[in-house]
Structure 1
Amino acid sequence: MQQDTPTQLALITGASSGIGQALAARYYAAGYRLALIARRTSETKSWATQHGMDTDRFQVYSGDVAIVDSIVAACQACLEQQGLPDVVVANAGISLGVDTAVRTDLEVMSRVFATNNIGMAATFHPFVQGMRDRGSGTLVGIGSVAGIRGLPGHGAYCASKAAVIAYCESLRGELRGAGVKVVTICPGYIDTPLTSKNRYSMPFLMQPEAFAAQAFAAIEAGVSYRVIPWQMGLVAKVLRLLPNSLFDRFFAGRPRKHRQVAE
């Protein structure tokens, strides 16, 4: 007997690698249709077919979250071809070290904010009113434990992820009572291309699939905020409580994140 086509739809940005791909696989396994947005569309399509995904259950759209018109157009194409999603995961993000004393790093910082912050709002934008009208939907912002406190050499990334946390909190309040949930997921260290070049220790490093399983459960449960893994949540709370003098001393001399250009 032929099964009906799944009706639930999850849209995920940054679906060409890492956390995005792991989340896509987890949502597909749960029976969702997928709308995958990535710059590398051919690679994303190849990955999906290689993993046995039914072409009737996924669509790949070309979009760059750092360019508002590009990501909005991709989301509107999803609306036209697949309908209004049930879950929207604004996962796409970049992480680059910066040095404020270097003029060119201001452009790097601008690109980090354009991707991690404006890109998230632009991803949610096409769906907010439709979800309000329908009275249901979930908007998921991927933050980071790095958004809890500012780490030396990580100014752009930490600031952008702190902004993600605050933005999602604001949006959650705006949509309260509309039936639309806003979920903030803050990963710790996940073994992805984003972290592969880090030159410092990464405690409680998780595989993307393990992260995706926990994130999926949290999103389905409708939690407002979750740090994954929980151990990093405890670390984040301790760091938040540390007096500035102790925090500064603890991170003094710690290796910094790679900058985009040669130092």
Structure 2
Amino acid sequence: MTSPATGAVVTARRPLAFITGASSGIGQALAWRMGQAGYDLALVARRGETLQAWRLSQGMDESRCRIYAADVSDIEQIVAAARSCIARQGLPDVVVANAGISIGMDTAVRGDLDVMARIYATNNLGLAATFHPFVAPMRERGSGRLVGIASVAGIRGLPGSAAYCSSKAAAISYCESLRVELRRSGVRVVTISPGFIDTPLTRSNRYAMPFLMQPSDFADRALKAIEAGDSHRIIPWQMAWVARLLRLLPNGLFDRATSGRARKAREGE
């Protein structure tokens, strides 16, 4: 592009996406898709060396893709990574709080309460801590996308998944609250609830997974939802209909339909 005032060539700034949980699964697929769409990337994961190896394998130059090692369940670590991103790469256009864990639990087992605490620390506090450093500067700029990755599992509680389902229900409500708070600021809050995606997170599931998607297909649809600024998108669309039916199902019918369902594996199983 040429400056009309000076005639000099001006290079347009590429949009920047900050993505947590980018070392595998949904996060990695979305990072690849956004990179292909012209975004610069700020990628976060506990396993920074794994991300570096992936960046090199994809031929991504460090000028386009920077890696930040941080555990989102540690508030100070993820806040520090976010501030480092702003200092090194500028304020992102899109922040995707994707990092999450899914482990089955049994409330009768004392150790599983510690599992529940870890899930909430990652899936809920980690979500808010990821957004925190960006809210004020995005509001001041008057633009941005804050994207929370929730789950269809947040629609109703499933046996053996009390911690995960409740954490994702909380993520949906949290993002909705933040969306209303930021209304008219220019900052859009987008909630994306995946159904079953073929990732390491789902491969240990011991029950049927209807409408199972490949991560690349999910990433294509998620990027469209992000750029459209959707308030809440369930992917794939078939799971959106399942979610609507689950909401309408009376408790008695829901209980009978799910009581014999295989439980999510607990830690160590």
Match of 2:78 in 1: 71
Shift of 1:7: 2.5
Specify the structure having the higher radius of gyration (Cα).
2
Q: Equivalent of 1:187, from 194, 200, 206?
A: 194
Structure-2 residue corresponding to 1:128 = 135
The answer for the alignment partner of 2:228 in structure 1 is 221
Aligned equivalent of 2:147, options 140, 150, 154: 140
Question: Structure 1 residue 10 and structure 2 residue 10: aligned?
Answer: no
Which of 150, 159, 167 is the aligned partner of 2:166? 159
Is the Cα contact below 8 Å between 1:154 and 1:256 reproduced in 2? Answer: yes
Query: 1:55 is paired with a residue of what secondary structure?
Result: coil
Displacement of 1:54: 2.2
The separation in 2 between residues aligned to 1:136 and 1:3, in whole angstroms, is: 22
Q: Is the 8 A contact 1:19 1:192 kept in 2?
A: yes
- In 1: Cα distance, 2:10 partner to 2:60 partner: 15
Counterpart position of 2:4: none
1:261 is aligned to 268
Unaligned runs of 5+ residues in structure 2 are 1-8
**TM-fit CA distance, 1:6:** 4.3
Deviation at 1:46, TM superposition (A): 1.1
Q: Which residue of 1 aligns with 2:119?
A: 112
| Matching residue's letter, 2:194 | P
Shift of 1:97: 0.4
C-alpha distance in structure 2 between counterparts of 1:149 and 1:111, whole Å: 21
Correspondence for 1:55 among 59, 62, 66: 62
Separation in 2 of the partners of 1:148 and 1:30? 31
User: Does structure 1 residue 34 correspond to structure 2 residue 36?
Assistant: no
Identity %: 65
The superposition leaves residues 46-67 of structure 1 with CA deviations (integer Å, 9 ceiling, x where unpaired) of 1112112122101000110111
1:236 matches 2:243: yes
User: Residues 185-221 of structure 1, C-alpha deviation per residue, up to 9 Å, x if partnerless?
Assistant: 0000000000010010000000000000000001101
Q: Equivalent residue of 2:210, what SS?
A: coil
SS of the aligned residue for 1:104 comes to helix
Specify the alignment match of 1:100 in structure 2: 107
Cα distance in structure 1, aligned partners of 2:140 and 2:113: 40
1:90 correspondence with 2:107: no
Q: CA-atom RMSD, angstroms?
A: 1.2
Q: Output the TM-score relative to the length of structure 1.
A: 0.97
Q: Deviations over 1:97-123 (max 9, x none)?
A: 010000010000000000000000000
How far does residue 253 in structure 1 lie from its aligned partner after superposition? 1.5
For the residue of structure 1 that corresponds to 2:76, the secondary structure is helix
1:24 is matched with which residue? 31
SS of match in other structure, 1:117 = helix
Distance 1:3 1:102 in 2: 62
Which runs of 5 or more structure 1 residues have no equivalent in the other structure?
none
d(CA) in 2 for partners of 1:3, 1:188:
43
The residue that corresponds to 1:172 in the other structure is: 179
TM-score of the two chains, using structure 2 as the length reference = 0.95
Deviation at 1:261, TM superposition (A): 3.4
**Distance (whole Å) between structure 2 residues aligned to residue 135 and residue 93 of structure 1:** 28
**Equivalent residue pairs, number:** 261
Counterpart Cα distance in 2 of 1:245 and 1:196: 30
